[in-house]
Amino acid sequence: MMKQKIAVFASGAGSNAQKIIDHFKASEIAEVSLVACNKAGAGVLAIAGREQIEQVLIEKEQYKKDGYAAFLQEKGIDFVVLAGFLLKIPQPLIDAYPRKIVNIHPALLPNYGGKGMYGAFVHQAVIANQEKQSGITIHYVDEHYDHGDIIFQATCNIEPGDTPEQLAEKIHLLEHAHFPAVIEEVIRKQ
C-alpha cells in the first residue's frame, strides 16, 4: 500500500495536530502532508511551519463553495482529519472523501454535540448537568455537526468540584492518548 497522505484541518493551538504529526512521522502507512487552518496566526500554522508541512489558510468563500475538495485531490490527499476545526464541512468535501473524514469531539456523542458545542462550551454544559462521566468521541464526518458514525469513545470520570478547565485537561489527555492510534487503525482498514 502506498503511504496515505493526511490533511489535518484545525482552527486553534494545534496540540492534537502535533500529536498526530508525531505519531505518523515513523509510520509506514501514512503521513501528515498538509495542514489547513481557517484562522491566520493560529498555533497550528506555527506547528506546520516548524514541522515543514505544507499549510493552507482557508478562504471562507472558496471553502463554502467546495470545501477545498479539488485542492486536496490535486495535492494527492487520501484522508482528512479534523482536529479542533470549527467550520462545518461542506457537502462537496464530504462527497469527495466519503468515510475518509474523521473528527474528534470532546464529549460522549450523541450528547453535547451540534452547532456551538465545542471547547469550553461542551465542558461547561457537561458539568452544569452534573454528569458523572465525559470523554471523547472519534467519528466519521457527515453533513451534520457531530453526527456521523461513531468509531471510538473513551471516558473519564468527573469528580465533584471539577471545573470546566479541569475537565478540559482530562479530555486533552484522552485525545492525545487515543486520536492518532484510532486514525491509523481507520486508515489501515480502508
Q: Is 129 annotated as a binding residue?
A: no
Pairwise CA distance, residues 75 & 97, whole Å: 14
Which of the residues 23, 105, 123, 178 is marked catalytic? 105
Q: Is 49 annotated as a binding residue?
A: no
Q: Is 15 annotated as a binding residue?
A: yes
Q: Is 157 annotated as a binding residue?
A: no
Q: Is 103 annotated as a binding residue?
A: yes
Pairwise CA distance, residues 136 & 92, whole Å: 27
Pairwise CA distance, residues 25 & 144, whole Å: 32
Residue with cell 486508515: 187
The helix (run of H) or strand (run of E) holding residue 62 is helix 60-66
Q: Classify 18 as helix, strand or coil.
A: helix
Q: Classify 137 as helix, strand or coil.
A: strand
Whether 105 is a known active-site residue: answer: yes
Binding site residues, as ranges?
A: 14-16, 60, 103
Binding site residues for (6R)-10-formyltetrahydrofolate, as ranges?
A: 60, 103
Active site residues: 105
